[in-house]
Structure 1
Amino acid sequence: MERIVNFNAILFPSDGRPPTIVQLMTSPMTLPGHHASYINNPSRMPHPEVHMDYIAENLGSRAWKYQLVEALDCMNRKFANPYIIFYPVVSRDGLPFPINKTIRDIQGRGFHEQAAWRGNILIGKYRDNPFSSLMDASMADFPIIKNYLLTHGCPQVRLPTRVAPSHTYSE
């Protein structure tokens, strides 16, 4: 029986509202070619799209990407419990997502539109593997996340362009 498991994550709404704790739903993920009996920690598929406005429907994980945050700049060691940042990449109407005002305000004068975080951003926390050992994040994680967002823009997203056929076939 498939079991839905939720983890606390921090939502950075794009409309400028303060960050809040939300439930990040996950479901079991089947790995092709693997026997379940050989997997100690079965992987789970997170569903951040539930919290992302204007995201394309019925694409599942293809509508979003993620960025791992294992350390802050100038740190000698990685975090014992790193972070995973989920961000939308495919909108419902094909237009760009709105710039995330909450993160833009955090970045202040360091904000650069070409590297702007867009849409609702969801940040989770994990132990060893982001898809098998998610754990609850809390507002106590906010200062670390804020520090990261202060100096890091969104990874460049290159979406496939639509190519129109050069000719049509008729019979």
Structure 2
Amino acid sequence: MERIVNFDAILFPSDGRPPTIVKLMTSPMTMPGHHASYTPNPSRMPHPEVHMDYIAENLGPRAWKYQLVEALDCMNKKFACPYIIFYPVVSRDSMPFPINRTIHDIQGRRFHEDDAWRGNVVVAKYHDNPFSSLMDASMADFPILKNYLLTHGCPQP
């Protein structure tokens, strides 16, 4: 029986509202020839698209991409519990997603439209592997994420 598991994640809404904690739904991933029930930490498919406005429907993970954040600039060591940033890439009407005003406000004068984060952005936390060991994030993670977003634009395709 497939079991849905939720993890707390941070949503950066595109309309400029403050970041909030949301439930990131995950479902078991099955791979051909792979017996997830025998694996101690089976992989789980996150569903950030549930929190993304205007995202293409019925594409699942093809409608979004992700960026791993394992350390901040100038850090000697990686985070014990890194972050995974999910962002939309395929819209319903093939138009660009709106610039994320929340992240735009964080970046202030460092904002550059050519590498702007667009649409609703969902950030989760993990240890070991982002698809088998997600964990709850909290607003205590916000200062680290704010620091990262201040100096990093959205990855280009």
Q: TM-score range by the shorter chain?
A: over 0.9
In structure 2, C-alpha distance between the alignment counterparts of 1:41 and 1:84, rounded to whole Å = 18
Same amino acid, percent of matched pairs: 86
Where 1:62 maps in the other structure, the secondary structure is helix
Give aligned pairs, total: 157
Q: Deviations over 1:110-158 (max 9, x none)?
A: 000000000000000001100000000000000000000000000002x
Task: Give ranges in structure 2 of 5+ residues lacking alignment.
Answer: none
- 1:57 corresponding residue in structure 2: 57
- 2:42 corresponding residue in structure 1: 42
- 1:29 corresponding residue in structure 2: 29
Where 2:106 maps in the other structure, the secondary structure is helix
TM-score by length of 1: 0.90
- In 1, are the aligned partners of 2:11 and 2:123 still within 8 Å (CA)? yes
- 2:7 corresponding residue in structure 1: 7
Task: Give ranges in structure 1 of 5+ residues lacking alignment.
Answer: 158-171
Where 1:9 maps in the other structure, the secondary structure is strand
- 1:141 corresponding residue in structure 2: 141
Larger radius of gyration: 1
Q: How does 1:64-103 map to 2 (within 5 A)?
A: 64-103=64-103
Distance 1:39 1:115, change over 3 A: same
Structure 1 residue ranges, 4+ long, deviating more than 6 angstroms after superposition:
none
- In 1, are the aligned partners of 2:13 and 2:100 still within 8 Å (CA)? yes
In structure 2, C-alpha distance between the alignment counterparts of 1:72 and 1:132, rounded to whole Å = 23
Q: State the Cα distance separating 1:34 from its structure 2 match.
A: 1.5
- 1:162 corresponding residue in structure 2: none
- In 1, are the aligned partners of 2:3 and 2:27 still within 8 Å (CA)? yes
In structure 1, C-alpha distance between the alignment counterparts of 2:26 and 2:36, rounded to whole Å = 18
Where 2:33 maps in the other structure, the secondary structure is coil
In structure 2, C-alpha distance between the alignment counterparts of 1:12 and 1:71, rounded to whole Å = 20
Q: What's the RMSD between the two structures over aligned residues? A: 0.7
Where 1:18 maps in the other structure, the secondary structure is coil
In structure 2, C-alpha distance between the alignment counterparts of 1:130 and 1:50, rounded to whole Å = 18
Q: How does 1:109-148 map to 2 (within 5 A)?
A: 109-148=109-148
Matching residue's letter, 1:35: H
- 1:167 corresponding residue in structure 2: none
In structure 2, C-alpha distance between the alignment counterparts of 1:150 and 1:37, rounded to whole Å = 41
